Structure 1
Amino acid sequence: MFYEPSKRNHGLPFSPLKAIVAPRPIGWISSLTPEGVANLAPYSFFNLICEAPPLVMFSSAGHKDSAANIEATGEFVCNLATLDLIDAVNLTSAPAPRDVSEFDLVGLERAPSRLVKPPRVAASPCALECVYVETFRPKGKDGTLPDQHMIIGEIVGVYVDDAAIVDGRVDMRVMKSLARCGYLDYSFVDELTERERPPGGGMDLKARTPKG
């Protein structure tokens, strides 16, 4: 099949685009309103931008509470979404009044962050503490400005549960990291495969301490 996204002429019950660009990591973003109410919401348009400086982004369709809070307060936390937290992740996607915390609605315990004010999800095995850098508004090819808001932050602190570190590396199989696959579908990491990079590129696996 072939279709043009602008014409939506795919002939299918649902758009396949978000199922094609998948799996996508989920940024489970915690932030604070200026009044101090803790907000928590998942975003599947989420990723690391670069390592130096360590920049992360998530994109919001509409100027939602997360974007407004971060722009107002200058801080947020990216909590790792995992298989055992899938129901809580899903429930926090529901709209809630600004004066009501999703932590309380879902019954999630908060844990204090080290360097920023928004709390992290205590049950999440990893969290990235971030300072707001900028909001980027992407344009379409015709120059139109859709209601999309890409929030960019610099990671200033990283929390990792010790149980997730195996042989000196964070093991996604232990945490069963969750990803969005379009429609109502999710996947999780339970298997990994390695390939050595060509000389001069990426991580030098030969320099790693061998097991045993």
Structure 2
Amino acid sequence: MRVEYDPEAMNSTAFYRFLTSVVVPRPIAWVSTTTPDGRTENLAPHSFFSIASTDPPIVQFTSIGRKDSLRNVEDTGEFVVNFSSEPLLQLINATAIDFPRAVSEFDTAGVEREASRCVRPPRVAGSPVVLECRSHTTLHMGNSTLVFGRVVHAAADEDYIVDNLPSSGLLRPLTKLGGDEWGTLGEVLHLSRIPYEDPGRDDPDERNGSGHHGCGP
């Protein structure tokens, strides 16, 4: 027997809790931004995060309500996604506090910064992989805003790279589950995709990085 849930009949917060308990695990974008005057550098985790496009490379995170990350992206057009790794859990959780915009989570949580190469917001020095992004577009939907950013530069710690790619086992990604639950990588299953043999198809998975060190358009 199933328990039925009607979002039209439920309180929106109650259905939010149900939905975020079902759509799991969710990767976490640890987003760093800066205020327009450059005086305050903000840092916050966003668990509605995904790849939106591969060519051009665009990632997307969702701001529920008007969070500081969203305001700063709207005002400056730039942000950095810092990879959320298991050893960083306590720091990530400490930056989830809803501080005023003029308060820097870098400072309050004691997170070490490093300069980005192509954008103004700093990177998290201890994050194994970082994606520097320029705003592509924002899409308002209900009580949320989807933020799309074009990746103009990426950097990965060499200690986490195997066969020229970051290794999930070494990265130890954190995920968000329902309520106050967090997830770790656990067992990794290996199963090859069954290919459709078409000699005219261009498979983006077969392309290799060029080693270009620019900042994109």
- TM-score, length-scaled by structure 2: 0.84
Return the alpha-carbon distance in structure 2 between the equivalents of residues 147 and 17 of structure 1.
15
Aligned twin of 1:166: 162
Instruction: Note the alpha carbon deviations across 1:141-181, whole angstroms, 9 max, x for none.
Output: xxxxx221111110011111111112333111112110001
Matched-pair contact (CA < 8 Å) for 1:173–1:190: no
Instruction: Report the Cα distance in structure 2 between the residues aligned to 1:190 and 1:163, rounded to whole angstroms.
Output: 20
Contact kept? 2:7, 2:15, Cα under 8 Å: no
Alpha carbons 1:29, 1:40 under 8 Å: kept: yes
Structure 2 gaps of 5+ residues are 198-202, 207-217
Given the alignment, which residue of 33, 36, 42 partners 1:34? 36
User: Could you say what secondary structure the match of 2:17 adopts?
Assistant: coil
Aligned to 1:186: 182
Distance apart, 1:97 and its partner CA:
2.0
Q: Work out whether residues 17 and 178 of structure 2, in 8 Å CA contact, stay in contact via their aligned partners in 1.
A: no
Q: 1:127 is matched with which residue: 113, 126, 130?
A: 130
Q: Give, as a single letter, the amino acid of the residue that structure 1 aligns with 2:67.
A: K
Once residues 61 and 43 of structure 2 are traced to their aligned partners in structure 1, the CA distance between those partners, rounded to angstroms, is: 13
Match of 1:199 in 2: 195
Contact 1:39-1:101 within 8 A present in 2 as well? yes
Q: Residue 47 of structure 2 aligns with which residue? A: 44
Identical residues among aligned pairs (%)? 39
Question: Is 1:3 aligned to 2:11, yes or no?
Answer: no
Residue 83 (str. 1) matches residue 79 (str. 2): no
Q: How many residue pairs are counted as aligned between the two chains? A: 195
The CA distance in 1 between the partners of 2:85 and 2:178, in whole Å, is 17
Deviation at 1:190, TM superposition (A): 4.0
Normalised to the residue count of structure 1, the TM-score between the two structures is 0.86
State the distance in 1 between where 2:9 and 2:85 align.
36
Aligned-pair distance for 1:197? Answer: 1.3
2-structure distance, mates of 1:107, 1:73: 24
The question of whether the paired residues in 2 share the 8 Å contact of 1:172 and 1:190 is answered with no
Q: Distance in 1 between matches of 2:7 and 2:156?
A: 39
What are the residue-to-residue correspondences of 1:127-146 with 2, within 5 Å? 127-138=130-141, 146=142
Structure 1 pair 84/151, CA: closer, same or farther in 2 (3 Å)? same
Contact 1:8 1:15 in 2 (8 A): no
Structure 1 unaligned spans of 5+ = 139-145, 205-212
In the alignment, which of 84, 99, 116 is matched to residue 119 of structure 2?
Answer: 116
Structure 1 runs, 4 residues or longer, greater than 2 Å off:
12-16, 200-204
Q: Which residue identity is paired with 1:196? A: S
Give the AA of the match of 1:113.
S
Name the structure 2 match of 1:143: none
Deviation per residue, 1:177-212 (Å, 9 max, x gap): 1000111111111432221112238647xxxxxxxx
Distance in 1 of aligned mates of 2:166 and 2:94: 27
